[in-house]
Amino acid sequence: MDARGGRGTDPGERGGAGPDSGAEATGRLVSELTGSLPCVRCRYELKGLSVVGLCPECGTPIVATILAVVDPHAEALKPVAHPRFLAGAIFGLAGCSLAASILTWLMRLADAGTQMFGIRFDDGALPFVGTACIIAAGLSATSLVRPHAQIGRGGVIRAALGVVAFAPLAVFYWLIHGVFDQAHAAPYIAPGESDAMRAVLRLGMGAFLLVAILGLRPNARVLARRAVVFRTGRADRQTMRAMAIAVGTWMVGDVLSLVGAHLGGLGAQVVRGSGVFLIVVGSVLFTIGLGGIVVDAWRLGRALIQPAVSLDRLLGTGRGSDP
């Protein structure tokens, strides 16, 4: 018992062998790093340097890099059974979704070419490819239903609903671009009396797209905890939420298009013009968001393949290691 009446043991009585010894902990901190640690600012490899030192390249304190990079939950994160497969599936989900969006923009550019130059571009194959991309994205999304044991029942159900939403999403995409648009010249650039039907189809597609985004988002955020770029703020944690807002924006534009179809005169033109503007803004933001998700999916895939960084791994104090 020590002088304060506690039951602590004097460090000397333990022979300094315990990992909690103050002298030993201090010595370990001022000793060299045993694990790979790129500088958070300039990416210089800090392995072998003292924790209390500075980066030789940019002068950033090494302790700042440790605080920015080390994940306090690294050892608690559940391992995935097939990390390479999961990384590829996540990138496939993001990449196929972006491809479908780009193909849609190509079809709209073809419409613009028809109106401006009177040339009908043969874009008949694009709806097939775009629909196939959505189906492929849905198949890839199944990897997010339960990627590891840390996902609870609620997350599994939400993600499963998000995956199921890809089926009607592909159907609506095909009905819009493979059926309706093929029967109407430049349906977006020069809408006609039947553009109300297209607005209804787009509202259906947007609704299922929202289900897919919001259903997959929670499990995607759980996996994002593994990526250093998310923990250091170098990746947007709210990309999927922003994309949902973008979808909602273009859906408001479609609602205005429906309202404008039942008006006459100048009011109809103003309402329809406002609807077209919101559709364009929402679509542009959605595509930009998909581009950001592709980049983040690539970074996340690399983090899934590599083990999460922990302080024990950097200092060589993990279980089974010799201090």
Q: What is the pLDDT of residues 170-207, one digit of tens each?
A: 999 999 999 888 777 665 655 555 578 888 999 999 99
97-109 confidence digits (pLDDT tens): 999 999 999 988 8
CA distances from 127 to 65, 73, 179, 187 (A): 48, 44, 9, 14
110-154 confidence digits (pLDDT tens): 877 767 766 666 667 899 999 999 999 999 999 999 887 778 889
232 versus 50: which is more confidently predicted?
50
Residues pairing with 54 in the sheet: 61
* 82 closest CA partner among 139, 145, 148: 148
Dihedral pair phi/psi, residue 27, rounded to 5°: -65, -35
Radius of gyration of the chain (CA): 27
- Helices marked H in 165-264 — which ranges? 166-173, 181-183, 195-224, 228-231, 239-261
SS3 36: coil
215-229 confidence digits (pLDDT tens): 999 988 887 766 655
Q: Tell me the helix, strand and coil percentages in the chain, rounded to 5.
A: 65, 0, 35
- Confidence at residue 68, expressed as pLDDT on a 0 to 100 scale: 63
Q: pTM higher than 0.75, yes or no?
A: no
